[in-house]
Amino acid sequence: MIKDLLDRPIQKRPTTLKFEGRILHLLDDAELMKAQLFEGRDVELTDELKARLRDQISTDEITPAYICFFYDERLGDFPYLGLRTTNQATGETEYPVIRNAVRNGGFVCSVAGKRRGKGSSREASPYAELHAGIQIVVAESIERIYNENCQNLGLLATNDFGMIDRILAGEEIQLSEFTEGQDEITQQIIEYGGLFEFNVARLQGKVTIPVAAAQENSAVATRPMTIAEKIFAKHVVTNATTGQTGVPWVQPGDAGFFRTDIRFSHEYVTPMASIFFEDKVGKDAKVVDPGSILFFRDHLTFLSKVMSEERIEDGLLDVANELEVKQREFSERQGVKLYGEQMGHKLGSQAICHSKILEAYAEPGMLIIGTDSHTPHAGAIGAVAFGVGTTAIFNSWITKDVRVSVPPSFKVIVSGTPAANVTAKDYMLEILRHPYIRDGHAIGQIIEYAGPAVEALSVDERATMANMAAEVGAFTGIIAADQKSVDFMVSERGMDRARAEALIEGMQSDPGAEYVKIIEIDASAIRPMAALPNDPGNGVFIDELGDKPIRIDIAYAGSCTAGKKEDMDMYARVFAEADAQGLKVHPDVNVFIQCGSTEVREYCREKGYMDLFERMGVEFIEPGCGACIAAGPGVTSSPDDVSISSQNRNFPGRSGPGQLYLGSPYSVAASAVAGYVTSWTPGELIKPVSVRKLTTV
């Protein structure tokens, strides 16, 4: 395979570029969006209009989950179909973009505000934009994975709003304006027009791979490092020909290729990656080291239960089913283990991908990549685990390497003793509303969680915090390995204790390690929290929601974030108290519990939780993704529906068209019984009310 690539001709893109086309401003103004899309109206980006650019546009809005059933050029029909805007006359929410509107509008550039591309790691989003004709995206700030996916595909991205007038004037623009300030590898990826093209040039010896600062300055034996920096230092590729890895130290900004320990993908991404692999490398080519690659069928196994008849008639269910077939066939040809294959046509999977990685594979000191933004889940035991896009995972099948510029780290220290009803989820909702995160300063950085309150958490609870580094916009989240990591590997995997002890050695940050920011949180000051609809950063204390309770129609307990064993303990604790009081789940509320793996399901069975859940009136769902991505029971079906969930994010349309609140496992279970958004306090009575008399706001 490598030999064939060595003979392939490869060229850089032109150094001078000229763009012909219109500018699409993504505005929180439904009428102006329609005017641009359907009336041919071009708007001038005045200061007043710039203030109305949409901030916080997630990849769910660029390509809603059902759009990602497509995995080829057809995606170009659909960018921005989930874009939420406001009708300025009525105040109503509208979704003005329809199929082919962007392509038919002749747009070459798309403009947005802060934190463009937050959320899921789906490369389908920039891929859809690219195939709709968009060649440049402009935004005040751009999320790390989305930005990297743009680079990997050859879609140009910039924070320079001055580029807009220059495009409209037909000015020639130097490619160097898009590479300025980038690390040396990223510059060359942009120059070659994408990661694969650069990687071929790399294998041919045509590109410059910078050496780590430690190699240039060998007189400095070491420097104090964070735990993440230690892992990067161990995995940096120093000789691509021999496969040699490791330097004494790295520092933020060191760019290079890093040897992965585990690479995984799921049925939303594997098919597109396999097409890239077969088209660019060859139908008969084989992936490198298939034993360190894992595939998962976990995201869409419940889709048939919730897809509308209209979409089924449009053929979308058939398109979605193609994903499973394509992944399975590629897995068989490549000899890669596929989780979920054994389920056949049953609903559910063996495990959600990153849940299984932590349960069975991740070790302190590993470097793990996966095609899911919640890959940082494995940071709970001191691994560097981060999400990548389709092009990055496909390239890793060729070399085992992933390109990274070592990110700066910031630390969140959680001290104090929390109340008995405060959980890691509440910590995260408090962290997510911090201005440093809300204003986008944390984008692309590593968040290291530390402090006595974090050290007191179990590995399951630590996983909640590591997992939600995705919502922070961070590169990854990580927690130092310690004796709880050892106990987890021994008790959950049967690992020899001596080996587990050896794995955690040195997997803590050094005294004097550098952080760009240190945030201190007092756990004793945190009360149970909820995130208001549309963003996980909309956190409030539940007891501050107002005098009139907010009724709910659905309570969804689970997902990768809250489908672990300890999460099941929390649901059971609340339901057991309610059961003892003679209560069941509220008659007007549909309640679902979905665990993260068959291992967790069997744990529930052994603990007697299944009987308790059934007695309470809860519907227990087989493992897998579901309502969290609008692909399973627990989704809302109307804008008037209200749900509360222990999942990780609540972006518009993420779990149906309704209003979605986020809360801890305790709060979700208590709300399921009460019928409204509430928290739980041990020993206190839950007081159900008639939810039809409550507000939906």
Residues 640 and 653: their CA atoms lie apart, in Å, by 13
- pLDDT, tens digit, 9 for 90 and up, residues 55-78: 999 999 999 988 888 888 899 999
Report how far Cα 89 is from the mean position of its chain's Cα atoms.
Answer: 35
Residues 455 and 239: their CA atoms lie apart, in Å, by 38
Q: What is the pLDDT of residue 254?
A: 93
Domain count across the chain: 2
Q: What is the pLDDT of residue 203?
A: 82
**Exposure string over 370-381, b if 16+ CB within 10 A, otherwise e:** bbbbbbbbbbbb
Higher-pLDDT residue of 688, 450: 450
Average predicted confidence (pLDDT) for the chain: 92
Q: What is the pLDDT of residue 1?
A: 54
User: Contact at 8 Å (CB) between 224 and 252?
Assistant: no
- pLDDT, tens digit, 9 for 90 and up, residues 505-520: 999 999 999 999 999 9
Higher-pLDDT residue of 302, 421: 421
Q: Is the model's pLDDT at 567 over the cut of 90?
A: yes
Place of tokens 């747009």: 107
Helix or strand run (H / E) with residue 541: strand 539-541
Last residue of a domain, one of 171, 204, 231: 171
* Identity of the residue numbered 171: E
* Identity of the residue numbered 161: F
- pLDDT, tens digit, 9 for 90 and up, residues 89-123: 999 999 999 999 999 999 999 999 999 998 877 88
Instruction: Tell me if 343 is assigned to some domain.
Output: no
Q: Is the model's pLDDT at 446 over the cut of 70?
A: yes
Range of the domain at 662: 530-693
Q: What is the mean pLDDT of residues 186-214?
A: 87
Instruction: Tell me if 245 is assigned to some domain.
Output: no
Taking residue 409's Cβ as centre, other Cβ atoms within 10 Å add up to 25
Kindly tell me the burial class for residue 92, based on how many C-beta atoms sit within 10 Å of its own C-beta (0-12, 13-18, 19 or more). Answer: exposed
Q: What is the mean pLDDT of residues 532-544?
A: 95
Token digits of residue 421: 């009803």
Q: What percentage of the chain reaches a pLDDT higher than 90?
A: 76
Q: What is the pLDDT of residue 629?
A: 80
Q: What is the pLDDT of residue 219?
A: 65
- pLDDT, tens digit, 9 for 90 and up, residues 315-355: 888 888 889 899 999 999 999 999 987 555 467 789 999 99
Q: What is the mean pLDDT of residues 681-696?
A: 72
Q: Which of 482, 432, 489 is nearest to 457 (CA)?
A: 482
Token digits of residue 21: 């086309």
- Report the CATH number at residue 156: 3.20.19
- pLDDT, tens digit, 9 for 90 and up, residues 372-381: 999 999 999 9
Q: What is the pLDDT of residue 214?
A: 66
Instruction: Tell me if 276 is assigned to some domain.
Output: no
Helix or strand run (H / E) with residue 555: strand 554-558
* Identity of the residue numbered 314: D
C-alpha distances (whole Å) from 233 to each of 211, 236, 237 are: 12, 6, 9
Measured torsion, CA atoms of residues 621, 622, 628, 634, in degrees rounded to the nearest 10: -20
Q: Is the model's pLDDT at 239 over the cut of 90?
A: no
Instruction: Tell me if 361 is assigned to some domain.
Output: no
Q: What is the pLDDT of residue 697?
A: 45
- pLDDT, tens digit, 9 for 90 and up, residues 115-153: 999 887 788 999 999 999 999 999 999 998 899 999 999
Helix or strand run (H / E) with residue 616: helix 609-616
* Identity of the residue numbered 76: G
Q: Is the model's pLDDT at 29 over the cut of 90?
A: yes
Instruction: Tell me if 57 is assigned to some domain.
Output: yes
Residues 558 and 669: their CA atoms lie apart, in Å, by 11
Residues 660 and 438: their CA atoms lie apart, in Å, by 19
Segment among 11-25, 488-502, 624-638 with least mean pLDDT:
624-638
Higher-pLDDT residue of 403, 121: 403
Phi, psi of 236 (to 5 degrees): -65, 135
Phi, psi of 250 (to 5 degrees): -130, 170
Residues 268 and 652: their CA atoms lie apart, in Å, by 20
- Report the CATH number at residue 632: 3.30.499.10
Instruction: Tell me if 50 is assigned to some domain.
Output: yes
Q: What is the pLDDT of residue 2?
A: 59
Instruction: Tell me if 256 is assigned to some domain.
Output: no
Q: Is the model's pLDDT at 175 over the cut of 90?
A: yes
Q: Is the model's pLDDT at 674 over the cut of 70?
A: yes
Last residue of a domain, one of 123, 147, 171: 171
686 — pLDDT class (breaks 50, 70, 90): confident
Kindly tell me the burial class for residue 93, based on how many C-beta atoms sit within 10 Å of its own C-beta (0-12, 13-18, 19 or more). Answer: middle
Q: What is the mean pLDDT of residues 211-236?
A: 84
- pLDDT, tens digit, 9 for 90 and up, residues 1-14: 556 777 788 889 99
Segment among 198-212, 242-256, 399-413, 452-466 with least mean pLDDT:
198-212
User: Contact at 8 Å (CB) between 372 and 467?
Assistant: no
Instruction: Tell me if 48 is assigned to some domain.
Output: yes
Token digits of residue 668: 């979700």
User: Contact at 8 Å (CB) between 153 and 127?
Assistant: yes
Phi, psi of 307 (to 5 degrees): -70, 135
Taking residue 177's Cβ as centre, other Cβ atoms within 10 Å add up to 15
Last residue of a domain, one of 113, 147, 171: 171
* Identity of the residue numbered 303: L
- pLDDT, tens digit, 9 for 90 and up, residues 635-666: 999 999 999 999 999 988 888 899 999 999 99
Strand ranges for 113-204 from DSSP E: 136-139, 156-158, 173-174
Q: Which of 116, 630, 118, 600 is nearest to 387 (CA)?
A: 118
Q: What is the mean pLDDT of residues 251-277?
A: 94
Taking residue 67's Cβ as centre, other Cβ atoms within 10 Å add up to 22
User: Contact at 8 Å (CB) between 60 and 652?
Assistant: yes
Q: What is the pLDDT of residue 218?
A: 66
Q: What is the pLDDT of residue 14?
A: 95
In the DSSP assignment, the letter for residue 67 is G
Residues 254 and 258: their CA atoms lie apart, in Å, by 11
**Exposure string over 460-495, b if 16+ CB within 10 A, otherwise e:** bbbbbbbbbbbbbbbbbbbbbbbebbbebbbeeeeb
